[in-house]
Amino acid sequence: MATLYILWYGLFHKAKTIAVLANKASQAAEILLRIKNAYTELPMWLQQGLVKWNNGEISMENKTKIFCGASSSSSVRGKSIDLLLVDEFAFIDDNLATNFMQSVFPTQAAKKDAMMILISTPKGMNHFYAIWQKARAGKNSFIPCKIQWYEVEGRDQAWLDKQIRDNGQQFVEQEYCCLCGDEKVTVQDDYGKIRTITLEELYNYEHEFSNL
């Protein structure tokens, strides 16, 4: 969906700068390749003339540019970004993510219509989790959207069972079931009592005692 949206935005908006970033530069290049493949499938009358077409950038005659890179602060620092996509945002180290966001927000703050898309599978309760929870509560400008495994065409219960056999239950729950803070787990506390609590309650409990 992000691929198609970026392509549409680039074709029908003049003089825009679009950045496609990921935890690894090769991963960002793969997303750019998907955009290029989608472009080549369009009829000629929908395509823009091309000024640059390489592994790292697409520049079109409408003066819109799409480039890719690793999700580091240097990738966007000093650039004026109209649309930013960051893939697997949860897998960026917490400190790097903080520096990255501090570099990104100034590039978009001056533009009223600037947009940012953060995509990721969960990875614990880190910076991505905090943004997600605030979005769900309406406390930031992000719009939360979760896509579950069964919403992808061709994936049924037999497919899920195979993934569990091959990769394990924990891998499947994180990568495909998108477990988040309101999901409940059964734990045994320090006194031997078994309780059912949310992941967020478990996180807050562990975080409280780790700071003592």
Backbone dihedral region for residue 15 (phi beyond 0: left; psi -120 to 50: alpha; all else: beta): left
In this structure, the answer to whether residues 135 and 170 fall within a common structural domain is no
Give the pair of three-digit tokens for residue 137. 């509560």
| Domain boundary residue, one of 98, 118, 145 | 145
In this structure, the answer to whether residues 139 and 172 fall within a common structural domain is no
In this structure, the answer to whether residues 109 and 206 fall within a common structural domain is no
In this structure, the answer to whether residues 141 and 164 fall within a common structural domain is no
In this structure, the answer to whether residues 84 and 111 fall within a common structural domain is yes
Range name among 11-25, 120-134, 150-164 with the lowest pLDDT average: 120-134
In this structure, the answer to whether residues 16 and 118 fall within a common structural domain is yes
In this structure, the answer to whether residues 81 and 118 fall within a common structural domain is yes
Is residue 88 annotated as part of the catalytic site, yes or no?
A: yes
Q: What is the pLDDT of residue 103?
A: 75
Compute the mean pLDDT over every residue in the chain, rounded to the nearest whole number. 83
In this structure, the answer to whether residues 103 and 197 fall within a common structural domain is no
| Domain boundary residue, one of 145, 175, 192 | 145
Is 70 within 8 Å of 28 (Cβ atoms)? yes
Domain count, the chain: 2
Q: Domain limits at 71?
A: 2-145
Tell how strand 83-87 and strand 115-119 pair up.
parallel
| Domain boundary residue, one of 121, 145, 169 | 145
Q: Check whether 212 has a pLDDT greater than 60.
A: no
CATH of the domain at 79: 3.40.50.300
Q: Which residues contact 70 (CB under 8 A, 6 or more apart)?
A: 21, 22, 23, 24, 25, 28
Is 17 within 8 Å of 65 (Cβ atoms)? yes
Is residue 151 a part of any domain in this protein? no
Label residue 84 by pLDDT band (50, 70, 90): very high
In this structure, the answer to whether residues 48 and 75 fall within a common structural domain is yes
In this structure, the answer to whether residues 97 and 167 fall within a common structural domain is no
Q: What is the pLDDT of residue 36?
A: 97
Q: pLDDT tens-digit profile of 5-42?
A: 999 999 999 999 999 998 888 999 999 999 999 999 99
SS3 state of residue 116: strand
In this structure, the answer to whether residues 115 and 88 fall within a common structural domain is yes
Phi, then psi, of 68 in degrees rounded to 5? -125, 160
From 61, 88, 153, 183, the catalytic residue: 88
